[in-house]
Amino acid sequence: MRQIFSLAGWNWRLARRAYGILCGVFAVEQLAVLLFIASRSNMLGMGLAACYEEGYQFPVFLAVLLLAGLLAGPAVNDWKRAKCSYTWLTLPVPPAARLAAQVLTAAVLQLGVVALQLVLYLVYFFPVQALDSARALDKLGTAMPAQSLYEQVMLSDSLYWLLPRRPVQFVLLAVTVLASALLLTCVRLHRGWRRAAAVAIGVVCGVCCLLLFQWEKDFALYGAYDALVRNTLLTAAVLVVLVIFSIWWALRAIRRAETA
């Protein structure tokens, strides 16, 4: 475990500058988009949740989440840092420990983006609310009824996926982050057609995770019925098989690089 944490710390030191820039750009972009959307005449009184959806901020968040995971592996195959790559390959550490360190770093970076998105949503409620109230006072001559932060959180369909309400949702979120971290690590490890195959596997696993989230919601709303149970089990089985195969393939890639 100590070797894993040491390698993860090394990965973090290599990625922290780019990660900080990515998070800063994301924060500024989201504030600018939300204020622009809130300033439109047809969005008067709609609130933060509507502005967030109208500005397509959840897809932007997903893109930042994937980029954060890709930042976790600069020591693996950065051509500008050949010495780092060589050191990583020649460390007296088992391949499984190296893979675990990469996945751990990617998962931590992605969890940081999730936490950042939640904090930004809470913080940006106030400038959006202030702009909305000022526009209402200017156009209508009276202040809009105050909207609560709790209402805007509950009205956001996107935050439903980031704020688990049930234990199964929490498990699905953890599985999604870990699977995403693993698959993004595999994308960085492989080369050529293998990288394209790793991307395809990642897309399939992403679709599986989205389906499992949606079907968990259907379980809570409608209960268990045959088609839903069958589809859930089949999708979970596909996800498990692809994740296990990706682990084996990543370890094989590390061993192959060692002997190159």
147 pLDDT above the threshold of 90: no
Clarify whether residues 177 and 66 are in a common domain. Answer: no
User: What is the pLDDT at residue 111?
Assistant: 93
3-state secondary structure string across the chain: CHHHHHHHHHHHHHHHHHHHHHHHHHHHHHHHHHHHHHCCHHHCCCCHHHHHHHCCHHHHHHHHHHHHHHCCCHHHHCHHHHHHHHHHHHCCCCHHHHHHHHHHHHHHHHHHHHHHHHHHHHHHHHHHHHHHHHHHHHHHCCCCCCCCHHHHHHHCCHHHHCCCCCHHHHHHHHHHHHHHHHHHHHHHHCCCHHHHHHHHHHHHHHHHHHHHHHHHHHHHHHCCCHHHHHHHHHHHHHHHHHHHHHHHHHHHHHHHHHHC
258 has pLDDT over 80: no
Q: Which residue has the higher pLDDT, 5 or 84?
A: 5
82 and 210 in a single domain? The answer is: no
pLDDT in tens, 238-247: 999 999 999 9
Residues 95 and 174 in one domain: no
Q: Are residues 115 and 147 in the same domain?
A: yes
pLDDT band at 259; cut points 50, 70, 90: very low
User: Residue 117: pLDDT above 50?
Assistant: yes
| Tens digit of each residue's pLDDT (9 = 90 or more) over 157-189 | 888 888 888 888 889 899 999 999 999 888 888
Residue 143 pLDDT greater than 90, yes or no: no
pLDDT at 82 exceeding the cut of 50:
no
Q: Looking at the whole model, is its pTM more than 0.75?
A: yes
Does residue 46 share a domain with residue 127? Answer: yes
Pairwise pLDDT comparison (67 vs 141), residue with the higher score = 67
| 154 & 251 share domain | no
State whether 63 and 92 are in the same domain.
Answer: yes
One domain for residues 67 and 158: yes
Residue that terminates a domain, selected from 111, 135, 163: 163
Tens-place pLDDT, residues 22-77: 999 999 999 999 999 988 888 777 888 888 999 899 999 999 999 998 887 655 55
Residue 247 belongs to domain spanning: 165-260
Question: Are 190 and 222 within one domain?
Answer: yes
Mean of pLDDT over the chain: 83
Has residue 260 got a pLDDT over 60? no
Query: 127 and 255 share a domain?
Result: no
Of residues 60 and 255, more confidently modeled: 60
* pLDDT for the residue 201: 92
Predicted confidence at residue 256, as pLDDT, reads 75
What would the pLDDT profile of 219-236 be if each residue is shown by its tens digit? 877 877 788 888 889 999
89 pLDDT tier (thresholds 50, 70, 90) = low
Res 64: pLDDT: 94
**30/132: higher pLDDT:** 30
Same domain as 190, residue 61: no
pLDDT at 90 (0 to 100): 62
The verdict on 143 and 239 lying in the same domain is: no
